[in-house]
Amino acid sequence: MSPIEYRVITGRRDADVKSLAAITVLDNNEPEKLAESVDFFRDELEHLDPGQRLLIGAFAGMELAGFCRFQMCPRLAVWWCRGLEVVPEWQGQGIGSELLMAGIAEFAKRGATDIRSDTWGRNLPSQATHVKAGFRLMGTSGEDFDGRWRDDQCFYQWESSGGGVPARDWIAHDEGA
């Protein structure tokens, strides 16, 4: 398999939109929602405000192997991981945790020190991915990004402790539009 390159996606290219949509429907096992997913990501990329959203892709050559979506939570004034998806054939290779760490590294450049995420309580692979990326479990019930109370949801927080940011600068910025 090709080596993986992690980069911030800043442009709207049809290939990126279709790849993001395809990964999402594959991961959720809902192929019938492909058109809806394409529309969602087309809108997401058209309105991508780097001050409010960050999208990082894991690329194997031209193929998008996974992505991680972060959004500023205005209610808490913290960055929150709003989606982490890895194509099934690329799962189990550390791409998910690398995507989370890529986000942490990008936020460290911006001076952010508090990043949060959540995942379903039954999603054990995602929980392991978060821990591997340096997140710590805050609880299994609480308020999500939108302020709704959730049970059976694992809430994670990453806080800078002076040495937790990945040392290497390995994120490229996608300049394509």
pLDDT for the residue numbered 177: 37
Taking residues 80-95, what's their average pLDDT? 91
Alpha carbon distances (Å) from 108 to 55, 95, 158:
15, 20, 11
pLDDT for the residue numbered 140: 93
Residue 115 belongs to a domain with what CATH number? 3.40.630.30
State the DSSP string of the chain.
Answer: -PPPEEEEE-S--HHHHHHHHHHHHHHTT-GGGHHHHHHHHHHHHHT--TTTEEEEEEEETTEEEEEEEEEEETTTTEEEEEEEEE-GGGTTSSHHHHHHHHHHHHHHHHT--EEEEEEETT-HHHHHHHHHTT-EEEEEEEE-TTS-EEEEEEEEEEE--SS-S-SS--EEEE---
Q: Does residue 61 form part of some domain?
A: yes
| Residue 1 banded pLDDT, cuts 50, 70, 90 | low
10-60 pLDDT, tens digit each: 666 666 777 777 777 777 777 788 788 778 777 777 777 777 888 898 988
Q: Does residue 155 form part of some domain?
A: yes
Taking residues 120-148, what's their average pLDDT? 92
Q: What are phi and psi of 27, to 5 degrees?
A: -65, -35
Residue 136 structural domain: 5-172
Q: Does residue 177 form part of some domain?
A: no
- Assess whether pLDDT exceeds 50 at residue 155: yes
Taking residues 133-145, what's their average pLDDT? 92
- Assess whether pLDDT exceeds 80 at residue 176: no
pLDDT for the residue numbered 26: 73
pLDDT for the residue numbered 128: 95
Among residues of the chain, what percentage have pLDDT more than 90?
33
Q: Which of 3-12, 50-59, 89-98, 139-148 shows the lowest per-residue confidence on average (mean pLDDT)?
A: 3-12
96-120 pLDDT, tens digit each: 999 999 999 988 888 888 899 999 9
- Structural domain count, the chain: 1
